[in-house]
Chain A
Amino acid sequence: MKFSGGDLLMRALREEGVKYIFGYPGGAALHIYDALFKQKHIEHILVRHEQGATHAADGYARSTGKAGVVLVTSGPGATNAITGLATAFMDSVPLVVISGQVQSHLIGTDSFQETDMIGISRPIVKHSYIINKAEDIPKVVQEAFYIATTGRPGPVVIDIPKDMTDPNLKFEYKKPKSINIRSYKPKIDPHPGQIKKAARALLSSERPVIYAGGGVVLGNASKELIALNKLVKVPVTNTLMGLGSYPPKDKLFLGMLGMHGTYEANMAMHNADLILAIGARFDDRITNTPALFAPNAKVVHIDVDPASISKIINADIPIVGQVKESVLALIKEIKKSKIKIDSEALDQWMSQIYEWKRLHGLNHDLWKHVRKNQKILPQVVVQELYHATNGDAWITSDVGQHQMFVAQYYKFNKPRRWVNSGGLGTMGFGLPAAMGVKLAFPKDEVVCVTGEGSIQMCIQELSTCLQYGLPIKIVNINNEALGMVKQWQDMIYNKRHSASTYQNSLPDFVRLAEAYGHIGFKVTKQEDLSKVFKKAFSLKNRLVFIDVYVDPSEHVYPMLVAPNGSMKDMWVAKDKKA
């Protein structure tokens, strides 16, 4: 039997287990869309903007661990997918983005809707392909999924000129039985010698910290991390991307570290004598000034990507390998080792950390105190949400203050439940990402926590949610300004609020939600919050937009002092450095 290029593509996607394609049609992709129409295995989700397609596929990928699939047309379709590609690239999310391209003979002639997708996307993809023989489609799709999901995951682009999917040209479906790419052999098992050294260093330390990042989530190694710490019982901190990989209620958990991390996590890092970094990349939002970073710490760094090791902070003991395999090897080595960790020193270290926490730790009980006749604190919104959902919802967010408040106060107790754009910091991510999560987990509660700035960047997807019946709950933490920008302007630019406010031009979000066929609630009083949440979550089959007006003067603290600060230098409140 012979197939057109479009049919080859559909079959190849099906064989990769694809359930959903997020996309938007257009001229160069029409043959593919016709092939899509003629099959029943894959459902297409028609977004309202290609950026939404990429973020939705991204949300699907982050929540399931499988590759998300996007289909767009050439030219503007392809360029609109760029922000989503860069978002996925920065956070190592597996995506396969298929872009239509003008016909092969028109490439390079500035033809209608032509853009060099391969060239434009080059710095923000793990790899890319352009199809120049239709019969290669199955093999390329197979390789693309393999590359996207193995090693350090990332997005892969497949650019398909229109003539490659011509319905009149038929080919046999052929692909290799196994994948063998001679130039791509991702490392799985760590070097045993390095594991030995790491175990020795960890067991000989007196002030250790485990600094666990998004790699633990991506590498499905949360269980292993917990098992490791059952053995050594040392303090653990998570990066923004790592939240959910370690139980938040464990007394050894210090919360998030970095720019808006907890006081105790940042102090522990600065004063540690050993940092065990697992699937984290010493981002500048973590280290503050690299030269001043953890002056007395020996650094053990486990990462699947060798280029992440010793990029910013030199690793004394580098370990290249999959996080899961590396942590398992470390557990085995520690069990074998004759060295016993100095529990007295550890106790002292922990009491020092608890002292830091007592001094400037986060207050998770703000919600218990009702501030009558005052605007709602944004932190309280997150705390109320946490209790309304029993800490068990999938939460997506956009970017800014609300994102940090979620990271600080929503105590994620499972990996993958926290879906946010950490590396690129893409406003507009939250709502489409929530669509992807909801499609993957239709029975679970999916909440998009956003701000009135971010939500307006992809608000058109409210229409997609109606079309496909996606009853997401949107919590809009509305401070009537670009909160994080304004915070920096308050702190660094002497309160000159350049282009960070909207001068009474915000839409009525309740009526906007209603115009899109959904339900909207407006909340202005703290005492109404829990009631409204209860009501919203009882509306199981409806998308509810909850517009919460909060105190616009509120800042996110702690905040690392920059430039030229170390991790111990923090603002812990307005005008108060610690």
Chain B
Amino acid sequence: MKRTLAVLIENKPGALARIVGLFHQRGYNIDSLNVAPVFDESYSRMTVTTQGNENVVEQITKQINKLIDVIKVSDLTEGSHHEVEYVLLKISTKQFNQTFKRKLKYFEHHIIEQDNSIVVLGVMGNSASIDDFLKSLNKKSLIELSRSGCIGMHKSEKHLTI
């Protein structure tokens, strides 16, 4: 099953490589990865999605935790949590028709750029529904696509902070 892990990691050169390397080294896959510094920029927050049963994810979590630069790791999937992903889409203006717009209305979205030939859209939603949305589109209508990867957070009172 899909798992979403949140990692707080020192914002140091090579720290990201250690995490990515670990997944490869231990035979796990990264489905998506998002990372950026937060707060005082001394550390970064990372969201990694991967596949695996409980034992596998427990082992991944422990191995990540063992890295010296890692401050905290949490398996968001263990409890209730928020997950969101942002997508940039470039399509031809011709394709930006009623059918397309009908599909789009289920998502938070906005038009970033529009002219006679090109429309660039920003679309937000959870990763699974974004997957479904993209699958429903005619592949030929998509010129370019960029996904942020999932970012996540525990719900309400549970916090992941240092």
Contact = CB atoms under 8 A, between A and B. Distances in A.
B62 A181 contact: no
Nearest to A182: B71
Interface in B41-79: 55, 58-59, 62-63, 65-66, 68-71
Contact of B10 (A122, A126, A183, A305): A183
Interface in B1-56: 9-10, 13-14, 17-18, 21-22, 25, 55
A563 interface: no
Contacts of A194: none
Interface stretch (A19-27, A31-39, A73-81, A306-314): A306-314
B132 to A, nearest CB: 36
Contacts of A118: 14
A314 B59 CA distance: 11
A130 B18 CA distance: 14
Contacts of A122: 14, 17-18, 21
Contacts of A181: 68
B59 A183 contact: no
B155 to A, nearest CB: 26
A307 B66 CA distance: 8
A176 interface: no
Nearest to B18: A122
A272 interface: no
A127 B14 contact: no
A410 B162 CA distance: 50
Contacts of A128: 14
Chain A: number of interface residues, binned into ranges: 10 to 19
A127 B68 contact: yes
A306 B65 contact: yes
A311 B13 CA distance: 30
A306 B68 contact: no
A181 B68 CA distance: 9
Nearest to B162: A182
A550 to B, nearest CB: 39
Contacts of B21: 122-123
B73 to A, nearest CB: 11
A311 B61 CA distance: 12
Contacts of B59: 307, 310-311
A502 interface: no
Nearest to B55: A310
A147 interface: yes
A314 B70 CA distance: 25
A122 to B, nearest CB: 5
A108 interface: no
A205 B62 CA distance: 30
A119 B13 contact: no
Nearest to A151: B66
B68 A307 contact: no
A128 B18 CA distance: 10
A224 to B, nearest CB: 25
Interface string A352-382: 0000000000000000000000000000000
A123 B25 contact: yes
Nearest to B20: A122
B57 to A, nearest CB: 12
A305 B66 CA distance: 8
Interface string A463-474: 000000000000
Contacts of B65: 306-307
Interface string A292-328: 0000000000000111001100100000000000000
B35 to A, nearest CB: 16
Nearest to A183: B71
A333 to B, nearest CB: 26
A335 B65 CA distance: 35
Nearest to B10: A183
A236 B18 CA distance: 38
Q: Which of A147, A183, A307 has the most CB of B within 10 A?
A: A183
Nearest to A143: B68
B70 to A, nearest CB: 6
A310 B58 CA distance: 9
A518 B91 CA distance: 79
B14 A184 contact: no
A119 B13 CA distance: 12
A307 B10 CA distance: 21
A123 B22 CA distance: 7
Contact of A184 (B9, B22, B58, B68): B68
Interface in B90-121: none
B133 to A, nearest CB: 38
Contacts of B62: 306-307
A368 B58 CA distance: 53
A274 to B, nearest CB: 22
Nearest to A128: B14
B131 to A, nearest CB: 32
Q: Which of A119, A130, A306 has the most CB of B within 10 A?
A: A306
Nearest to B60: A307
A138 B63 CA distance: 29
A571 B22 CA distance: 37
Contact of B68 (A130, A183, A305, A314): A183
Interface in A165-197: 181-184
A126 B68 contact: yes
Contacts of A126: 68
A119 B71 contact: no
Nearest to A307: B62
B17 A119 contact: yes
Given A306-B62, A307-B59, A147 B68 contact: yes
A510 to B, nearest CB: 44
Interface in A114-144: 118-119, 122-123, 126-128, 130
B6 to A, nearest CB: 15
A123 B24 CA distance: 10
Contacts of B14: 118, 122, 128, 130
A118 B13 CA distance: 11
A228 B17 CA distance: 43
Contacts of A127: 68-69
A127 B68 CA distance: 6
A311 B59 CA distance: 7
Contacts of A119: 17
Nearest to B22: A123
B162 A130 contact: no
> What are the 3 closest A-B residue pairs judged by CB atoms, nearest first?
A307-B62, A127-B68, A183-B71
5 contacts: A118-B14, A119-B17, A126-B68, A183-B70, A310-B59
Given A130-B13, A182-B162, A183-B68, 6 more contacts: A122-B17, A123-B21, A123-B22, A123-B25, A183-B9, A307-B63
